[in-house]
């Protein structure tokens, strides 16, 4: 039997006194797809960064094709045929696709046309519709991920590490990516993908490695397990089902109304066109659709960070279309943005500072001319306990928290801010099962308190599980709103393809 392409033996990694990986051992065969499962903070990304040369192990060995190797930088890893696609893409937005792909691999003068032709042929070979001459900043996020994959293929990678590869993709894009993974492995290459989505694991992986608290807790063949067993190994206990969200006939008053809302981008192009809907107290309106069809612009125009081109917005009967962000916060609008690190937090600030980021001007945090640090720390500590945020304390810098715990900080803050309306934009993107369950239950609890919720998600399962009514955005146009009882995948699929059904 051939030796595996990769063997990791007894790898341990410490950050100060924190054990990120403890005695981690596993192998990956040639032509094999291995899924790495675990909650945020389980040590998955750390062990992959050690393999890719971004971190150095304190103990243990790495063997490639049976021979021990010292991997001290990504350059060493790439020379051994290892490439990694991280959650945060490493593309230069001002450069073209071809320039990004050859960056660091070509010396001297660049024959642009020759490389564009080579990259176009490579893209066609793997079924990627990517223009090598396109500028990266103009590409949708799903196409940018294809560019990252083409970079690895251009470097003749034999092992492709993919960290949360579908976290920013629509269901259709995710399915296409999984097809690529299967074809790539069938050609004799190896794949390790880190994910929280059990459906992808069961569809694509040959073997599954489960990590918890920095250790390997199980290595299972896909054929011998199921989603229930995997979730139990991941988080150590079963997740109870979500409560029934059926609300029946809503009798509450209208809280949010949009009438004829249109939004233009900085180039004058319409991103939303004539959008109208309402949400009542104690109701969740889900907005589905392929990413890039105006969902972000919808959230931003409601919260005040993007101006109206035309139309009107009312909150609890008051016209708020001309109000600024701060005024809308004071009226009780909370907003959980899709990109938590870019738009939701200041990464170098502490947890406590981020908790009051949108209300620091409030008199409740003032102590004469200064901020009342003691009161702020007490508030942050109460949120840490209420939301089970894993952190050393309120003075911890949020950059050091896992993605799931960062999201809990934002959710805790916005639930407090959103006394009338909470806007959730991709609230569980990149989170593990435990964190997803926590966010879902929080959304339902706020709905139960009578708040109205605008939920934007590309995860159809999330939309189906939480929403009372569902609308679909296609090229900035609302295709209709369907009550939960009439909701079918066929209806949603037609609307996502641009077919408008009657609705309100």
503: pLDDT confidence band, cut at 50, 70 and 90? very low
Choose between 108 and 154: higher pLDDT.
Answer: 154
Q: For 442-495, what is each residue's pLDDT tens digit?
A: 999 999 999 999 999 887 778 888 999 999 888 889 988 888 777 776 777 677
Instruction: Give the three-state DSSP class for 14.
Output: strand
Report the range of poorest mean pLDDT among 10-14, 110-114, 483-487: 483-487
CB atoms within 10 A of CB 445: 12
Give the C-alpha separation, 128 to 149, whole Å. Answer: 10
- Beta strands, E only, 16-167: 18-28, 33-37, 59-64, 67-68, 82-85, 159-163
Token pair of 171 as six digits: 């269901």
Average pLDDT over residues 71-81: 92
Q: What radius of gyration, in Å, describes the C-alpha atoms of the chain?
A: 24
Whether 47 contacts 21, CB under 8 Å: yes
The tokens for 50 are: 């050690």
- CA separation for the pair 93, 135 (Å, rounded): 7
Name the pTM for this structure. Answer: 0.69
Under 8 Å CB-to-CB from 490, ≥6 apart: which residues? Answer: none
The per-residue pLDDT for 497 is 66
**pLDDT tens digits for 162-182?**
887 876 666 667 777 888 889
Query: Which residue shows structure tokens 């259709």?
Result: 172
Residue 279 near residue 452, CB atoms below 8 Å: yes
Report which DSSP code applies to 267: T
What angle, rounded to 10 degrees, do the helices at 141-154 and 171-186 form?
A: 10
| The two structure tokens encoding residue 383 | 């949120």
What element of type H or E holds 259? strand 254-264
pLDDT value for 248:
47
Residue 216, pLDDT above cutoff 70 = yes
pLDDT band at 238 (very low <50, low <70, confident <90, very high): low
Neighbours of 419 (CB within 10 A): 16
For residue 28 the two structure tokens come to 């990956």
The pLDDT score that the predictor gives to residue 139 is: 82
* Closest to 71 measured CA to CA, from 62, 60, 59: 62
CA distance 418 to 406: 18
Between 227 and 250, the higher pLDDT residue: 227
CA max distance for the chain: 75
Q: What is the pLDDT of residue 302?
A: 96
Burial group, residue 359, by CB count within 10 angstroms (0-12, 13-18, 19+): middle
Edge-to-edge order in the sheet of strand 477-483: 333-336, 421-425, 452-456, 284-288, 469-474, 477-483
SS3 of 336-390: the string is ECCCHHHHHCCCCCEHHHHHCCCCCCCHHHEECCEECHHHHHHHHHHHHHHCCCC
* Token pair of 137 as six digits: 């900043």
**Confidence (pLDDT) at 504:** 46
- Looking at the DSSP assignment, which residues form a beta bridge with residue 160? 83, 191
DSSP string, 208-243: EEEEETTEEEEEEEGGG--HHHHHHHHHSSPPPPPP
8 A C-beta contact, residue 404 and residue 440 = no
Non-local (6+) Cβ contacts of 378 within 8 A are none
Summarize pLDDT for 180-201 with one digit per residue, the tens.
Answer: 889 899 999 999 998 877 888 8
| pLDDT confidence of residue 501 | 55
């Amino acid at each position: 039997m051939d030796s595996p392409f990769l063997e990791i033996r007894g790898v341990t990694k410490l950050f100060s006194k924190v054990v990120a990986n403890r005695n981690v051992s596993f192998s990956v065969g040639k032509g094999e797809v291995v899924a790495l499962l675990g909650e945020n903070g389980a040590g998955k990304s750390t062990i992959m960064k050690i393999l890719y040369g971004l971190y150095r192990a304190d103990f243990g060995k790495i063997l490639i094709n049976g021979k021990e190797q010292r991997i001290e930088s990504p350059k060493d890893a790439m020379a051994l045929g290892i490439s990694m696609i991280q959650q945060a893409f490493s593309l230069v937005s001002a450069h073209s696709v071809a320039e990004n792909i050859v960056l660091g691999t070509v010396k001297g003068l660049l024959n642009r046309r020759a490389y564009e032709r080579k990259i176009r042929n490579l893209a066609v070979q793997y079924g990627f519709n990517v223009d090598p001459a396109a500028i990266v900043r103009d590409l949708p996020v799903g196409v940018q991920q294809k560019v990252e994959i083409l970079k690895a293929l251009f470097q003749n990678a034999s092992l492709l590490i993919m960290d949360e590869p579908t976290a920013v993709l629509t269901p259709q894009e995710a399915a296409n990516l999984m097809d690529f993974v299967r074809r790539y492995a069938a050609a004799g290459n190896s794949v390790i993908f880190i994910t929280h989505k059990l459906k992808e694991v069961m569809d694509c992986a040959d073997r599954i490695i489960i990590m918890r608290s920095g250790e390997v807790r199980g290595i299972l063949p896909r054929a011998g397990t199921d989603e229930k067993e995997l979730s139990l190994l991941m988080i150590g206990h079963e997740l109870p089902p979500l409560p029934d969200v059926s609300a029946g006939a809503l009798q509450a008053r209208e809280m949010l109304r949009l009438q004829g809302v249109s939004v233009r981008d900085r180039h004058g192009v319409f991103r939303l066109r004539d959008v109208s809907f309402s949400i009542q107290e104690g109701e969740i309106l889900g907005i589905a659709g392929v990413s890039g069809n105006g969902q972000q612009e919808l959230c931003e125009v409601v919260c005040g960070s993007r101006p109206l081109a035309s139309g009107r917005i009312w909150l609890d009967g008051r016209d708020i279309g001309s109000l600024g962000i701060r005024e809308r916060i004071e009226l009780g609008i909370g907003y959980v943005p899709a990109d938590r690190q870019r738009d939701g937090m200041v990464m170098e600030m502490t947890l406590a500072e981020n908790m009051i980021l949108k209300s620091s001007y409030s008199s409740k945090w003032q102590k004469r001319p200064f901020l009342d640090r003691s009161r702020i720390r007490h508030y942050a500590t109460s949120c840490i306990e209420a939301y089970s945020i894993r952190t050393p304390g309120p003075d911890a810098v949020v950059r050091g928290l896992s993605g799931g715990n960062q999201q809990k900080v934002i959710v805790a803050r916005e639930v407090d801010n959103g006394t009338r309306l909470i806007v959730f934009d991709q609230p569980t993107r990149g989170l593990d099962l435990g964190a997803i369950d926590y966010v879902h239950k929080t959304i339902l609890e706020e709905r139960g308190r009578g708040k109205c919720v605008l939920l934007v998600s590309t995860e159809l399962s999330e939309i189906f599980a939480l929403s009372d009514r569902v609308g679909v955005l296609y090229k900035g146009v609302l295709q209709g709103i369907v009550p939960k009882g009439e909701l079918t995948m066929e209806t949603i699929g037609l609307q996502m393809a641009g077919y408008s059904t009657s609705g309100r």
